[in-house]
Amino acid sequence: MQATVTTASDSAVNFEVWIPERWNHKVVVTGNAGYSNALSTRDMTLALSRGYAAVGGDTGHQTANSDDLLWGVDHPERIIDWGARSIHDITGPAKRIAEHVGSSAVGRAYFYGCSTGGHQGYAEIQRYPEDFDGVVAGAPGNNRVRLNVGFLWQFLSNRHPHDDAHPIVPAAKLPLITKAVIAACDAKDGVADGVVDDPRRCDFDPSALQCRGDDDSDCLTREQVGTLQKMYAGARNPRTGDLIYPGWPKSSEALTVLPTGVPGIGWQQYSGGVEPARAMTMAMKDAGVAPEEIDYINLHGTSTELNDRIETRAIKLAFGEAAARIPMSATKSMIGHPQGASGAAGLTATLGGMVEGFLPPTINLEQPDPECDLDYVPQQARPSAIRTALCNCIGFGSKNSALVVRKFEV
């Protein structure tokens, strides 16, 4: 069942209640991730499969790209909903819905969440302890103001001024650093098992990796050494020197490494990387296609300020000088941002253009951002032969994908 709770004149929380055929008379309310308004459907499905009524909400904002945080600008009530109120406001109605549909009283109610879900769990315990009989608050993103200062500190520490696209310590070098940290500190707990038990006791010095000559993949430049030391140290008040938020632990730089040698889970997800550009570069490499061969790019293009700027920068980084001559457009300008399968919609539009010989347009493009200065095929479709195209589907700081398609020549 779908329902909405209006919490303020400019904020409302949409939520869903899933009730199994054989209900155990218990309710599990699930938390959210990051700043997202997406329901945690995987957690809800697990709860449902075990006989619980499962509940999930959108935290009080409805936007295609919640990570740009524009949903909160001039909307303090939405921030309150996201921060502490939304779970409380949907829990009471969700219990009543479950009781009505299940024809039985709720015996127990639980909350389950991780990261932002963990912080939601903390808020419930502190502010609304009567809502739940038990709370699982995993990896809670608590102390949120200082946490966000810490995130911003890491991002700025790893960038030159006015250059967001090129991290000083690139993601490709994070596995090198983690390997060196483990070699230096693994055995300090008495067991050499590839895990640094207490990073606070690790005395690894990044200068041990400093290049003796030119920059290379197996060493750090002097600037990279200094940047790494700064990121380990954490954010401090420039006037008092007091610690605002701790630096990131040694050995956490690249917690997992993909078969390609690049980090899977690691700092690049939080300090800001060039993942959209890397996805495009890897797709072209896998397809055996040079940037100059791409005739068209179907953009992730959500028409949000942050998305469009970052995607434009990523394309320039991936394509270099070729970016200026490649036409590109956003299918979402015509269909909006679907809740799912938006990549499939973009691919369908691309294939249609390849078959029919035209470039899909970006409609309603009237005042482009000055930083978005590429050829976006504005307003009207354009006749053109497309032999090779690239489709973007980007989740900044999350999963990024790019697909290269080529027209089959008989």
pLDDT of res. 56: 97
Q: Identify the CA nearest to 41 among candidates 50, 54, 52.
A: 54
- Phi, psi of 243, rounded to the nearest 5 degrees: -70, 125
pLDDT of res. 181: 97
Residues 135 and 150 in one domain: no
pLDDT of res. 177: 97
Residues 257 and 159 in one domain: yes
pLDDT of res. 318: 83
Cβ atoms 360, 381 nearer than 8 A: yes
- Where is pLDDT greater, at 267 or 206? 206
Cβ atoms 371, 164 nearer than 8 A: no
Residues 402 and 285 in one domain: yes
Instruction: With a cut of 60, say whether residue 396 has pLDDT above it.
Output: no
* Confidence (pTM): 0.68
The CATH number for 290's domain is 3.40.47.10
pLDDT of res. 272: 56
Residues 30 and 157 in one domain: no
Domain-ending residue, one of 141, 157, 191: 141
pLDDT of res. 310: 79
Stretch 148-177: mean pLDDT, rounded? Answer: 89
Residues 176 and 133 in one domain: no
Per DSSP, 193 falls in state S
Please report, for residues 35, 91, 96, 377, 391, the alpha-carbon distance to residue 4 in angstroms, rounded to integers and kept in the order given: 19, 12, 14, 39, 35
- Phi, psi of 17, rounded to the nearest 5 degrees: -125, 120
Instruction: With a cut of 60, say whether residue 23 has pLDDT above it.
Output: yes
pLDDT one-digit tens code per residue, 178-231? 999 999 999 998 999 999 999 999 999 999 999 999 999 999 999 999 999 999
Dihedral sign, CA of 68, 74, 78, 83? positive
Residues 106 and 166 in one domain: no
pLDDT one-digit tens code per residue, 283-307? 998 899 999 999 999 999 888 776 7
Residues 290 and 263 in one domain: no
Stretch 240-258: mean pLDDT, rounded? Answer: 92
Domain-ending residue, one of 85, 109, 141: 141
pLDDT of res. 343: 84
Per-residue pLDDT band at 397 (split at 50, 70, 90): very low
The CATH number for 46's domain is 3.40.50.1820
What average pLDDT does the chain have?
90
pLDDT of res. 66: 66
pLDDT one-digit tens code per residue, 98-129? 999 999 999 999 999 999 999 999 999 999 99
pLDDT one-digit tens code per residue, 71-91? 899 999 999 999 999 999 999
Domain-ending residue, one of 112, 141, 170: 141
Residues 10 and 135 in one domain: yes
Instruction: With a cut of 80, say whether residue 395 has pLDDT above it.
Output: no
Residues 190 and 247 in one domain: yes
Cβ atoms 71, 63 nearer than 8 A: yes
Strands 400-406 and 328-329: what pairing?
Answer: unpaired
The residue range of the domain holding 374 is: 275-406
pLDDT one-digit tens code per residue, 26-63? 999 999 988 888 899 989 999 999 999 999 999 999 87
Residues 213 and 311 in one domain: no
Residues 181 and 292 in one domain: no
pLDDT of res. 274: 60
Instruction: With a cut of 90, say whether residue 69 has pLDDT above it.
Output: no
Dist CA 167 CA 325 (whole Å): 26
Residues 63 and 33 in one domain: yes
Q: How many domains does the chain contain in total?
A: 3
